[in-house]
Each structure stands twice: as C-alpha cells, then as structure tokens.
Amino acid sequence: MSTDGRLLKGEKTRNVILCRAADIASAEGLEGLSIGRLAAELQISKSGVFTHFGSKEELQLATVRKASGLFREHVIAPALAVPAGLGRVRALLDAWQRYQREPVFPGGCFFHSTMAEFDARPGRVRDAIAASQRDWDAFLEQCLREARDRGEIDASADVPQLAFELDALCRTGGAHALLHDDPSFHDRAARAVRARLAAVSS
C-alpha cells in the first residue's frame, strides 16, 4: 500500500473510532470512553486505537472536536446557507432544534451531556467543551446582531441577553424531551422561541 493509501486508511479508522466515541459520550459521558472498550466494539486492536490517541485524555479531546464538527455540519452550515438577518436566526434555531429532535447522537445533545459532566472539573477537556460553547454563543450573537443591524430586530435589544434566553429555551426543551421521553417539550421550546423573537422583531 502506498503512503497515501496508508494515510487514507488511518484517517478512515480514526473517524470511525471518533464517531463511536461521540455516540458513547453522548449517552454515558466522556468518562465512559476507554481505548479497550472502543477496540473491542470496533474490532480494532488496542494498540491500533492507542496509536491514534495515546491517552484517554487525548481521546476525549479528539471526541469533543469531532462532536463540534458534527454540530457545525448539522446546525451552523444550514444557517449559513440563509442570507444574514432574522431569517438566518430562525434557520439557526430551527436547525439546532432539529439536531435535538432527530438526534445526531443516540444520547441527545453531546454537549448537554458533557457540559454537566465537566462543568466543575478544571482541565483541558473542560476547557475544550467551554471553548466550543463560547464559539456557539458568539455565532448566535453574531446572527442576532446582523438581524438588528438590518432593522429586523429592535435597535434597543440586548443581544447577549436575547442569545442567552434563546439558548436556554432550546436547551431546556431538548433536555426535558429526552428525560421524559416526551417530544412535546420540543414543541413547547419552539413556541417559546417564536414568541421571544416576535417580541423583539421590528
């Protein structure tokens, strides 16, 4: 096999490992990951998994990056396909709620699970999770500011506060729907989001 072929195979194997790791972490947390477990489930040698990551912490960090990439694919990318303004805000929140309603991960939102797991545990993994959430907050605020700058949201709107409220509504709806196995909570969150945006729309 050529060097390029080996690299391609290695990247494919790494991606398979990380997809399974993200699925596990969404349901059981990042502490549920182990090189031995992934090797057994995916029928890969432990040394093969270890070669890609080297330690459990590196595996956890790579899993956070993988989950962030999937979030961008399923939530951010659809919003960017819509012109900036209130339409993009709605598309972004719709995509995020769809990501939770039709879960990308078997345990629901990957970050809802891992934030609760690591919020009081300083370290590199917590920092990576926090950075991903700062990026999300910043993007949601950016979309809201663009809508405000276009006169589609009241000029007096407190954008960081509005972003916080919309984020809280979507997270709570998704968490309750998962906990109670009741999709009506998604509908409640969607109605609350629409009402909040209507209240600040020009």
Q: For residue 153, what are the contacts with CB-CB under 8 A and spacing of at least 6? A: 86, 144, 147, 162, 200, 201, 202
Residue pair 196/169 in contact (Cβ under 8 Å)? The answer is: yes
> Per the structure block, which two tokens stand in for 165?
């409220």
Within 10 Å of residue 2's Cβ, how many Cβ atoms?
7
pTM: 0.90
Domains of the chain, CATH where assigned: 57-200 (1.10.357.10)
> Per the structure block, which two tokens stand in for 138?
């910043």
pLDDT tens per residue across all 202 residues of the chain: 555 556 557 788 899 999 999 999 999 999 999 999 999 999 988 888 888 898 999 999 999 999 999 999 999 999 999 999 999 999 999 999 999 998 889 888 899 889 999 999 999 999 999 999 999 999 999 999 999 999 999 999 999 999 999 999 999 999 999 999 999 999 999 999 999 999 999 7
Calpha distance 61→68 (Å, rounded): 11
Calpha distance 40→42 (Å, rounded): 6
Residue type, 40: A
Calpha distance 148→137 (Å, rounded): 16
